[in-house]
Amino acid sequence: MAHENNGFKIDPWSSSNIDDDDIEKLVKEFGIERMDENIRQKVLQNRFIRRKIIFGHRSLNDVFKAIESKNPWAVMSGIKPSGSFHLGTLTTALEIVEFQRMGAKAYYCIADIESWEDNGISYEEAEQDAVDNLADILALGLDTTPKRTYIWRQSREPIVKDVCFKVGRLVTQNMLNAIYGEKPFGLYLAALIQVGDIVLPQVMDGPQPTIVPVGIDQDPHLRLTRDLTERYYKSFFKPGATYHRLLPGLDGSDKMSKRNPNSYFTFNEPLESIEKKLKGAFTGGRRNKKEQQELGGEPQKCMIYKILMYHFEPDDKKLAEEFEGCIKGELLCGEHKKTCIERVLNFIKEHQEKKEKLIEKARNMLDVQ
């Protein structure tokens, strides 16, 4: 099976929830570097780093050297077109936009080969989700100027397939078993295609630092790619990564899951459905108002606070005031939920309006009829 650590699996396709203690052990075991205060001071404009949502990295210092030397660097990520945008995919998408604003060229992959191998979704069936997903990230602010962005579908990109075959001669069954566990062979092929995705910026545009924003459950892909890059593409930079904390389910469950519709909401849902889910979200409140005022709340456990911190409260000062108010028992859960619902619904409504105007552009960019 995939790598295990104290009872949970590190599996890019089906990881169980990974808490702070687990993260600490994995950071040490796999040599992930911690984000320290020195790094945060360099990139205060990146709120995911500033707010410690991104907790670790690989080779981020290569990016800083490129910035200082005014050399090119890249951010690479993508999406599996198997459904609508939701809170989890929003994190990675906004990280891509943040890094692009810092000066990176963005390379964005539509992982339709992986959606076939993992979910049984044909390339044709995946097209409409791909268009929808791309329109989402365009609405979030991705700059699509050709010099700033390159977007591809795995099934139509010869570079990633070529890389898969080239590096495949260095890969053994034992090696894949050690990284991923016992899997259908198609998923191993999808992993090698992802190696192609991650090195594509350097194959296409020459050696340059490349950063890949991921949750820690995706680290097996990075370890495989870094190893194969070092052995096959000797002049390339070893691809780097940033690692963000995964959001638990809105309802307090371990993770957001399609099997549990109350654990998340998509960006295509009716506003009434989103509002209902937020009203039922798990909070860090006490049993009643009196106890809340006496003991204070626990915002570190609260999904309302967490989604505001990740996505829906841009003002650090206001976020800190809400945290403090909850701790002191001055901010009650009902009041906080009401404020959160208003912010989220305003964001989603505005996003849906922007996105609607970008659907045709996304369709043209992906050459979908």
* Residue 337 within any structural domain of the chain: yes
- Average pLDDT on 241-261 reads 87
Q: Are residues 176 and 274 in the same domain?
A: no
* Residue 218 within any structural domain of the chain: yes
- Bridge partners (DSSP) listed for residue 153: 110
Query: Residue 43 corresponds to which tokens in the numbers above?
Result: 């990139």
Angstrom distance (rounded) from CA 115 to CA 43: 34
Whether 15 has a pLDDT exceeding 60, the answer reads no
Report CA-CA distances (Å) from 67 to 103, 205, 211.
8, 17, 13
**Which domain CATH number covers 292?**
1.10.240.10
* Residue 252 within any structural domain of the chain: no
Burial class (CB in 10 A: 0-12, 13-18, 19+), 120: exposed
List phi, psi (to 5°) of 355.
-65, -40
* Cα Rg of the chain, angstroms: 21
For residues 117 and 93, the answer to whether their CB atoms sit within 8 Å is no
Q: Are residues 83 and 220 in the same domain?
A: yes
Angstrom distance (rounded) from CA 98 to CA 30: 26
Nearest Cα to Cα of residue 13 among 155, 115, 90, 94: 115
* Residue 254 within any structural domain of the chain: no
Whether 6 has a pLDDT exceeding 50, the answer reads no
Q: Are residues 314 and 227 in the same domain?
A: no
Read off the pTM: 0.91
- Bridge partners (DSSP) listed for residue 228: none
For residues 364 and 354, the answer to whether their CB atoms sit within 8 Å is no
**Which domain CATH number covers 175?**
3.40.50.620
> Domain limits at 329?
261-356
Last residue of a domain, one of 246, 273, 294: 246
Query: Residue 332 corresponds to which tokens in the numbers above?
Result: 């009650």
Sign of torsion over alpha carbons 27, 29, 32, 38 = positive
Q: How many domains does the chain have?
A: 2
Whether 294 has a pLDDT exceeding 80, the answer reads yes
Q: Are residues 25 and 49 in the same domain?
A: yes
71 or 47, greater pLDDT:
71
Whether 279 has a pLDDT exceeding 50, the answer reads yes
Angstrom distance (rounded) from CA 267 to CA 248: 17
For residue range 137-154, list pLDDT tens digits in order. 999 999 999 999 999 999
Provide the pLDDT confidence category of residue 31 given band limits of 50, 70 and 90. Answer: confident
Which of 68-72, 246-250, 256-260 is predicted least confidently?
Answer: 256-260
What percentage of residues in the chain have a pLDDT greater than 70? 96
CA-based max dimension of the chain: 66
List phi, psi (to 5°) of 17.
-65, 145
Where would I find the H helices in 140-270? 158-168, 173-180, 185-205, 219-232
What percentage of residues in the chain have a pLDDT greater than 90? 73
For residues 270 and 347, the answer to whether their CB atoms sit within 8 Å is no
Q: Are residues 192 and 290 in the same domain?
A: no
Angstrom distance (rounded) from CA 9 to CA 93: 25
Q: Are residues 208 and 116 in the same domain?
A: yes
- In angstroms, the first-to-last Cα distance of the chain is 41
* Residue 242 within any structural domain of the chain: yes
